Amino acid sequence: MTRSKAALLSLLLAIALPACSKSSDVLPTEAETEESVAGSAPVEDVLSAEQAELIGRGEAIAETACAGCHAVGAADESPHPDAPPLRLLSQTVDLDTLEARFAQGSVSDHPDMPDWQFEQIDAAGLIAYLKSVQSGSAN
């Protein structure tokens, strides 16, 4: 663990531990902090696990709500001839604004496209999945 990560972790623990422990007078030393963190997952892995969970949630939504018309995989064809494969969506749609549109229920002017309205976590998951499957230069 680098010194800056250890210092940051020590600071975070110093702030958080008093609220969580019965005795707020006893804070861990830097050595104790590094020792207790040594066996835990790195922050990057935790974030990756959270992102993977969000992408998995979005993939499940895509399979359920979108696959009837759109190709949702890396190489499949869309069942509906006018529905673009989700992997190419960023070439025509700004994915960063699409999350808000999913949450509002306003997605497309295409007559065959239903108005989907998702809970915020589901909209975020779907966008995370869409971003993860984009191909081409317009990611």
pLDDT (tens digit per residue) in 21-58? 333 344 445 555 455 445 556 656 666 999 999 999 99
In a domain, 69, yes or no: yes
In a domain, 138, yes or no: no
Indicate if 21 and 81 belong to the same structural domain: no
Contacts of 138 (CB under 8 A, 6+ apart): 90, 91
Indicate if 65 and 120 belong to the same structural domain: yes
pTM: 0.63
Indicate if 115 and 49 belong to the same structural domain: yes
The number of residues in the chain equals 139
Range of the domain at 126: 44-133
Separation between Cα atoms, residue 4 and residue 35, nearest integer Å: 15
Provide the domain count of the chain.
2
pLDDT (tens digit per residue) in 49-94? 999 999 999 999 999 999 999 999 988 999 999 999 999 999 999 9
